[in-house]
Homo-oligomer: A and B are copies of this chain.
Amino acid sequence: MSYRVDTVAIAGLGLIGGSLAAALRASGFARRVIGWGHREQSLQRGIELGVIDEYTLDLDAALSQSDILVLCTPTLVASQLLREILRRPLGDTIITDAASVKGDLYRAALETCNGQFPPRLVLGHPIAGSEQSGVEAARADLYRNHRVILTPVAGNDAGAVAQVRDMWAATGAEVVDMEVERHDAVLAATSHLPHVLAYALVDALAQSDASEAIFRFAAGGFRDFTRIASSDPVMWRDIALANREALLASIDMFSEHLGSLRKAVEDSDADTLEATFRRAKSARDGFAALLAERGLSRGDKD
């Protein structure tokens, strides 16, 4: 069998890292997938589950043995870890990641490397996930038919970018390029803002005098609307901190629109209400049709 690379190292073996490892083994992209992390139990479980071939607790060993090292830790950990890694001699190892925010890693790289972007660092973000977490939930087909956004920059080595693109393509994902700033703005709008809105609504209602009646009489529409408020609080705290600027801009954009709708309600302005609801329904129906075309099922998460 001919492999595209010899060794891929996965730093952080949860759902995202474990699923990437499993996909790379299943596809034959790498001869060997090794796990690195602090929690030996997860790494040991990764071997039992057949997700990785080997593991190490030694970051230098992981770096020196791998053609590609993928940071699959939570967002803020990825930023710290990237700084540590970029202070070491990297040789030809390509560094990439799967974090939800790209701007903070981009800035961390520039700061650590005196303003010179490391040519073999390729930032990326798979738009996939599930309700579950941890290596137990890893599955080789998690990325199939999902999108992976890469944010290559002018200083990047073209060969390294191509290698990372091939890696994600091997998982069955569709790989697209985007600018760092645009990635963070788009993700703020489609994912980070909705999470903040859902958290804000549920927390506001939970603190209301009528909270018991509110949750007692809420139904299916409310359940779907607030489902993302059941997401991991630490993960979303970190994303909110990491994508601060774009998230603030999204919140302000939303608040302005909500203010307009509020005014229409206050003025009993039936025309504006209906026109706004119609435009929104049309956009949302179009979006749902797009998702259905791509065959994405209900359990998919970003």
Binds B, one of A16-24, A25-33, A64-72, A210-218: A210-218
A131-164 CB mask vs B (1 if < 8 Å, else 0) is: 0000000000000001101000000000000000
Copies of this chain assembled into the complex: 2
CB of A95 within 8 A of chain B?
no
Most buried by B among A257, A268, A284: A284
- A279 B203 Cβ-Cβ under 8 A: yes
A215-241 CB mask vs B (1 if < 8 Å, else 0) is: 111111111111111111110110011
Contact partner of A190 (CB less than 8 A), chosen from B214, B287, B296, is B214
- A206 B266 Cβ-Cβ under 8 A: no
CB of A201 within 8 A of chain B?
yes
Contact partner of A222 (CB less than 8 A), chosen from B194, B204, B255, B256, is B194
Contact partner of A204 (CB less than 8 A), chosen from B227, B236, B254, is B254
Alpha-carbon gap, A227 to B186, bound state (A): 19
Alpha-carbon gap, A230 to B292, bound state (A): 15
Contact partner of A226 (CB less than 8 A), chosen from B252, B282, B284, B300, is B284
- B261 A200 Cβ-Cβ under 8 A: yes
| Minimum Cβ distance to chain B for residue A287 (Å) | 5
Check A233/B190 contact, CB under 8 A, given A220-B296, A222-B302.
no
- B227 A281 Cβ-Cβ under 8 A: no
A256 nearest CB neighbor, chain B only: B204
CB of A59 within 8 A of chain B?
no
A278 nearest CB neighbor, chain B only: B233
Residues of chain A at interface, number, CB under 8 A? 99
10 examples of A-B residue contacts, CB within 8 angstroms? A186-B210, A190-B205, A220-B300, A221-B228, A221-B301, A224-B227, A233-B277, A234-B274, A240-B273, A244-B265
A291 nearest CB neighbor, chain B only: B223
- A220 B265 Cβ-Cβ under 8 A: no
CB of A182 within 8 A of chain B?
yes
Q: Which residues on the B side are within 8 Å of A254 (C-beta)? A: 200-201, 204
A225 nearest CB neighbor, chain B only: B194
Chain A interface SS verdict (over half): helix
Check A194/B223 contact, CB under 8 A, given A241-B273, A257-B203, A281-B233.
no
Contact partner of A266 (CB less than 8 A), chosen from B244, B257, B276, B280, is B244
Of residues 257 through 300 on chain A, the ones whose CB sits less than 8 Å from some CB of chain B are 257-258, 261-262, 264-266, 268, 270, 273-274, 276-288, 290-291, 296-300
Alpha-carbon gap, A204 to B218, bound state (A): 26
Contact partner of A217 (CB less than 8 A), chosen from B186, B218, B283, is B186
| Minimum Cβ distance to chain B for residue A298 (Å) | 7
- B230 A205 Cβ-Cβ under 8 A: no
Q: Which residues on the B side are within 8 Å of A281 (C-beta)? A: 199, 202, 229-233
Contact partner of A270 (CB less than 8 A), chosen from B194, B241, B274, is B241
Most buried by B among A204, A231, A234, A278: A204
